[in-house]
Amino acid sequence: MGGMKREESLPPGAAPAMESPPPATAPLMVSPVVAGFPSPAEQYVERPLDLNDLLVARPAATYFVRAQGDSMVGAGVQDGDLLVVDRSLEPEDGSMVIACVDGEFTVKTYRHDRRGVRLEAANPAYPPIRFAGEMELRVFGVVTAVVHRLVPAVRPERGSQVASRKSDL
């Protein structure tokens, strides 16, 4: 096997996180929402929640890249989702990584055990990528978060017309 290398550069199409981004704030409710039977709990605003504070631990080592395809749907990654990636993290068994395998970029689950290193999809339609011979694996970072829209963005464009595009995420 050609081995695994950690890359410090960004993959094509990736956008770096800003060192001092403007706050991306929204109100944070004091009481959590129950994912079951509704509760009559109070719904008071605690403080603004900055999405950069929530999603970006190391701005200098973080970048964003959009997922394409359906190989990771079982892990909650849909086509078009925004992935938050930290280049400073070392992949561990079970980490979701951005990798380059023989010149092709992919997002997969990194597996390392007694059988060696492999990349696994979270969709049974895709076989694992096992490394043999001179195959080279370059890891461009560990995925730390997935931003997934449930409703397409709706933004006014040109006067009163409204557009709805998944690409507006």
| Residue numbers annotated as active site | 71, 108
Token look-up 């595009």 returns: 165
The CA distance from 101 to 135, in Å, is 7
> Beta strand 136-147 with 3-6: parallel, antiparallel or unpaired?
parallel
Token look-up 């023989």 returns: 102
Give the other-Cβ count within 10 Å of 132's Cβ.
8
Q: Which amino acid is present at 22?
A: P
